[in-house]
A and B are shown apart, each in its own frame.
Chain A
Amino acid sequence: DAGVIQSPRHEVTEMGQEVTLRCKPISGHDYLFWYRQTMMRGLELLIYFNNNVPIDDSGMPEDRFSAKMPNASFSTLKIQPSEPRDSAVYFCASSAPNQPQHFGDGTRLSIL
């Protein structure tokens, strides 16, 4: 079975540019989560969806961040404009109800 697929694996871009991170959840999972991981702040939940609907976006740091889930097999996390402090590893995870989350390999984002 394919796991959670994230792209790109690495991205390096200049501050001010738009960044789009992509995620394909495991088929049949109706929960999708976006996390950010840094040395300073650890693992932070940014937003999660249930059946493509955003349920809790209280972890989204500011309006520069937005996430969408247009269908059950695809989600994006956008940062516009990007800033150096957004540099982190961004993880996507998916799960079935009351089951553990399955994580993707992450996108390592560097904003110069």
Chain B
Amino acid sequence: AQSVTQLDSQVPVFEEAPVELRCNYSSSVSVYLFWYVQYPNQGLQLLLKYLSGSTLVKGINGFEAEFNKSQTSFHLRKPSVHISDTAEYFCAVRSNKFYFGSGTKLNVKP
């Protein structure tokens, strides 16, 4: 069975600190990988995607993620977070269908 695991349900961090949100997946076939962000009372917005090519993917709002095939991971990083980054972040995998992780709530404190 294929699955997406986001190990951290909540990540508190101070403003301007770096952050990493972890995502691991299990799949026996080639996958496409995505990160979405959901701000309060809004839908999910695409942050970045990995389809092929360079394993380091840059997205909007200064976020980036690295695809690591050997570790089946796709962790999301930002070197310096802002208060406005407070939101819930979802990792997603597409193989034969879409699979979403359970989400990580990033809480950026002043």
Contacts and interface: CB of A to CB of B under 8 A. Distances in A.
A43 interface: yes
A43 B100 contact: yes
Instruction: Determine the main DSSP class of B at the interface with A.
Output: strand
A98 B42 contact: no
A91 B32 CA distance: 21
Contacts of B49: 100
B90 A98 contact: no
Given A43-B90, A98-B51, A100-B34, A56 B97 contact: yes
A106 interface: yes
B98 A45 contact: yes
Nearest to A41: B102
Interface residues of A toward B: which range? 10 to 19
A91 B43 contact: yes
B45 interface: yes
A45 B96 CA distance: 14
B94 interface: yes
Give the interface size bracket for B toward A. Answer: 10 to 19
A103 B32 contact: no
Contacts, number: 44
A49 B43 CA distance: 20
Interface string A71-112: 000000000000000000001010000101111111010000
A79 to B, nearest CB: 20
B44 interface: yes
Contacts of B92: 100-101
Contacts of A105: 42-43
Contacts of B41: 108
Given A33-B98, A48-B97, A102-B46, 14 more contacts: A43-B44, A43-B100, A45-B98, A45-B100, A56-B97, A100-B46, A100-B49, A100-B94, A101-B46, A101-B92, A103-B43, A103-B45, A105-B42, A108-B41
